[in-house]
Amino acid sequence: SRGLRGVRMFTGDKAAGMVGSIAEVFPEAAYQRCTVHFYRNVLARVPKARRPRVAAMLKAIHAMESREAAEAKALEVASELEKSKLREAAMVVRDGYAETLTYTRFPREHWRRIRTNNAIERLNREIRRRTRVVGTFPDGRSALMLVTARLKYVAESSWGSRRYLDVTLLDE
């Protein structure tokens, strides 16, 4: 109803409602699990002292040149985690790595930007920071005006005018 057409991929944090809604409303669109959220889910099952090493192993999965190489690396990482007696973390890697590799279906030039939802989260943090400064709003309209003003500023600033994706690469 908002005019979205030709949506090919969504990137998110695997919220059950969102994933279900995407499949229902945009059945042809692929779902990309945010790699940062995936890393957090794995690292939550790793003792604090071992997290830097495991984080480096996880990043190696998404540094691969192809989907096949990334899949092989993910299985290797899961095996290594099991050998290190980190079975829960290994299980999360085995169960979730495939949905973090959806970005590999798109042009390589976009991979770094579309495998996470960091841009959206950055914008949400910016809005949250601005609204917290105000504290309480007299009504919903004033809150909406502040958020809209911030979004307008971002759209007109260098942050908003930087080309995020070269969409001509997506034409088939």
Q: Which residues contact 72 (CB under 8 A, 6 or more apart)?
A: 64
Smallest CA-to-CA distance from 7 within 30, 32, 35, 24 is with: 30
CA-to-CA distance for 118 and 110, rounded, in angstroms?
14
pLDDT at 73: 97
What tens digit of pLDDT does each residue of 98-122 get?
999 999 998 888 888 888 887 778 7
pLDDT tens column, 31-78: 999 999 999 999 999 999 999 999 999 999 999 999 999 999 999 999
Q: What was the pLDDT predicted at 171? A: 61
Q: Are 114 and 42 in contact (CB under 8 A)?
A: no
Burial class of residue 127 (count of CB atoms within 10 Å of its CB; 0-12, 13-18, 19+)? middle
Q: What is the pLDDT of residue 113?
A: 81
- 159 band by pLDDT with thresholds 50, 70 and 90: low
